[in-house]
Structure 1
Amino acid sequence: MKLDPTTDLTFTRKIDVAPALLWECWTTPEHVKAFFVPRPHAVTDCEIDLRVGGRFNTSFKVDGNTMANTGVYLEVIPQRKLVFTDAYSEGWKPSADPFMTAIVEFEDDGAGGTIYTATARHRSVEARKSHEDMGFFDGWGTVADQLAAYAKTL
């Protein structure tokens, strides 16, 4: 995949947890609720239909407000890659104001851990900048830390 630095944000981190377990965390609603947004914010609901075109819907509690996010999976490669977007909801219904497409990759590091890469692709330079200014690196980095810590408890 060729990234465009004007519209894409990405980071890679080594996580000392096997790809299969990180995959399970990312694809099981109960697990998603445990790590998917930086604390003290919380995921209050998660619905997953793990197939291309299947739903990936979440609701968050942020500063006392509930925010709903609907989306679909665009690519599902078991234990290796998830691609999802809010550009569509289930049934390929276009979103009025899409924010991003997320790509989460899990590569076996050969030592029992995972090379974890999270990428957010945006429709414009402005959307990318907005996401970076919102705290993409800190937020998604915190989520990766929470994911690692949570997965180690399973």
Structure 2
Amino acid sequence: MSDDLSLSFTRTLSATPAQIWRCWTEPELIKQWFAPAPVQTTEVEINPVPGGIFRTVMVVPDHGTIAGDAGCILIASPERHLVWTNALGPNFHPNKIGDGPMDFAFTADIQLVPGSGGCTYTATVKHASAQTALAHKDMGFYDGWGAATSQLETLARSL
């Protein structure tokens, strides 16, 4: 995306939308790929329906445990489109966002388009301000989400 609120990338993955969807919606699979190694995702709760919960807990070496508020699924079109936000909690209740360096509201928009031998995968993260988008970029958005997407593809292909 070209606006100053969004970070986005598109990749062609050699896994089907059904395989990618499973990896995005089954807690035990999410734990295996969601954070770029060596970060570990230790807990996951997800109910992939509008208003459903999306919550992860990650352990970051030298930084400890990162557990944000439970987020909210906004769109869940199986094998096509998943959107969730941390600005809202389950059942669309507003979350209070903290003031730490990784505490900022965002919406993650994952789109899957079937293609020859796999799918086109687009991940877009939308922020409330240009300042938080830039901070997320500077924290390593493209490297981190890119590494996690490579892990996602490897896992999905094994299913």
TM-score normalised by the chain length of structure 2 = 0.91
What letter corresponds to residue 91 of structure 2 in structure 1?
A: G
Write out aligned runs for 1:85-124 (5 A). 85-97=85-97, 98-109=104-115, 111-124=116-129
Offset at 1:94?
A: 1.2
Offset at 1:72?
A: 0.6
Deviating beyond 2 angstroms after TM superposition, the runs of 4 or more aligned structure 1 residues are none
Offset at 1:34?
A: 0.5
The match for 1:150 among 136, 152, 155 is: 155
Write out aligned runs for 1:11-26 (5 A). 11-26=9-24
String of CA shifts for 1:80-127, please: whole Å, max 9, x gaps: 000000001113221222421000111011x13110000000000001
Match of 1:138 in 2: 143
Write out aligned runs for 1:20-39 (5 A). 20-39=18-37
Q: Matches of 2:91 and 2:52 in 1, distance apart?
A: 8
Match of 2:72 in 1: 72
Q: Matches of 1:6 and 1:101 in 2, distance apart?
A: 14
Q: Where does the alignment leave 5 or more consecutive residues of structure 1 unmatched? A: none
SS at match of 1:152: helix
Offset at 1:6?
A: 0.8
| Percent identical residues | 38
Q: Matches of 2:76 and 2:57 in 1, distance apart?
A: 22
**How big is the alpha-carbon RMSD for the aligned residues of Structure 1 and Structure 2?**
1.2
- Tell me the number of residue pairs that the alignment of Structure 1 and Structure 2 aligns: 151
String of CA shifts for 1:28-76, please: whole Å, max 9, x gaps: 0000001000000010000111110000111001125111132010111
Q: Matches of 1:115 and 1:153 in 2, distance apart?
A: 18
What letter corresponds to residue 84 of structure 2 in structure 1?
A: F
Contact 2:73 2:90 (8 Å CA) reproduced: no
What letter corresponds to residue 132 of structure 1 in structure 2?
A: K
